[in-house]
Amino acid sequence: MPELTIAFLFGLIVGSFLNVVIVRVPARQSVIFPRSHCPHCSTAIAVYDNIPLLSYFFLGGKCRHCTRPISLRYPVVEFSTGSLFVAAYWKFGLSPALFLNALFFSALLVLIFTDLYHRILPDVITLPLTLLGFSLSYFQDPSIMESQLLENWFDLHSPWRRIASHSAQSLLGILVGAGVLWLVAALYLKLRNIEGMGFGDIKLMAAVGAFLGWSLAWLTIFLGSLLGAIVGSAYMMYRKKGRRYELPFGTFLGAAAIASALWGNDLIRWYAAFYR
């Protein structure tokens, strides 16, 4: 299908830019200047060596000048962005919600990788993302902003009511997403006297709630914690003794948020069907 191919190619180009953001934002560098260069020998990368996905394989994963390895993160981020844009097109079709969620997924990919590599969820991404999610909530897909709690209050057919309903759902999402994580962090600090969770995770969940509403924010925390527990216990079994390792909780939450946006309501409906 040509639309899906276009979505994939567009995702590759965006993914190429996201790679720059992942490296430069934690280092507090400009994402526009200077041009991309090899981190080992600092040689500027030629346009023909900077083609998403393809260049990595043509160059055999090595810099053309100094032959030192290029991080596998580059093709992985590019391929992930392309695939997520295809998935978003599949779910939302050509609609404002497609662009909104493609933007959301792109920001989440950046956060997934900055947390994985540096244990950082930059405020310059999470805070504007929260504001953007809330102010553009009108354009979010109704299948995501649906809520049994609010549907009884608002009639979704009139545009004013859609503004009211989606804004309320988004605001409630911010409160539930950030609030639940803040509560867990406070309990953790009180019970075990350690900071198990950074404020970055709380701000990340505010952004997720702004885009996905309260029920999918809740699901994101559930799935993210489950993923963290599985990966964490697998790590505990294989780790070397005495080594402390801080799990990148933001990475798990980010992945869970993407899954919730794409399949969350189907999962909730499937689960709820058992209790009818």
- Which positions touch Zn ion (CB under 5 A)? 38, 40-41, 63, 65-66
Residue 139 C-beta: closest distance to Zn ion, Å: 43
Q: Looking at beta carbons only, is 40 or 161 nearer to Zn ion? A: 40
> Quick one: CA dihedral 54, 28, 102, 270, positive or negative?
positive
Q: Looking at beta carbons only, is 66 or 226 nearer to Zn ion? A: 66
Distance between CA atoms of 139 and 181, rounded to whole angstroms?
26
C-beta of residue 19 within 8 angstroms of C-beta of residue 77:
yes
Looking at residue 138, its amino acid is Y
Distance between CA atoms of 13 and 158, rounded to whole angstroms?
38
Rounded alpha-carbon distances, angstroms, from residue 252 to 14, 31, 108, 201, 258: 22, 25, 11, 10, 10
Q: What is the dihedral of CA 161, 258, 136, 141, to 10 degrees?
A: -40
Tokens representing 179 are 């609030």
Q: Looking at beta carbons only, is 59 or 175 nearer to Zn ion? A: 59
Q: Looking at beta carbons only, is 43 or 158 nearer to Zn ion? A: 43
Question: Helix, strand, or coil here: 69?
Answer: strand
Residue 59 C-beta: closest distance to Zn ion, Å: 10
Residue 157 C-beta: closest distance to Zn ion, Å: 58
Rounded alpha-carbon distances, angstroms, from residue 32 to 36, 37, 44, 154: 9, 12, 14, 44
Q: Looking at beta carbons only, is 41 or 127 nearer to Zn ion? A: 41
Residue 38 C-beta: closest distance to Zn ion, Å: 3
Residue 19 C-beta: closest distance to Zn ion, Å: 16
Question: Helix, strand, or coil here: 77?
Answer: helix
Query: What is the DSSP code (8-state) at residue 38?
Result: -
Q: Looking at beta carbons only, is 46 or 94 nearer to Zn ion? A: 46
Residue 64 C-beta: closest distance to Zn ion, Å: 7
Q: Looking at beta carbons only, is 63 or 208 nearer to Zn ion? A: 63
In the block, which residue shows the tokens 């953790």?
Answer: 188
Tokens representing 269 are 């409906």
Q: Using alpha carbons only, what angle is made at residue 50 by residues 49 and 55, rounded to the nearest 5 degrees?
A: 60
Residue 36 C-beta: closest distance to Zn ion, Å: 11
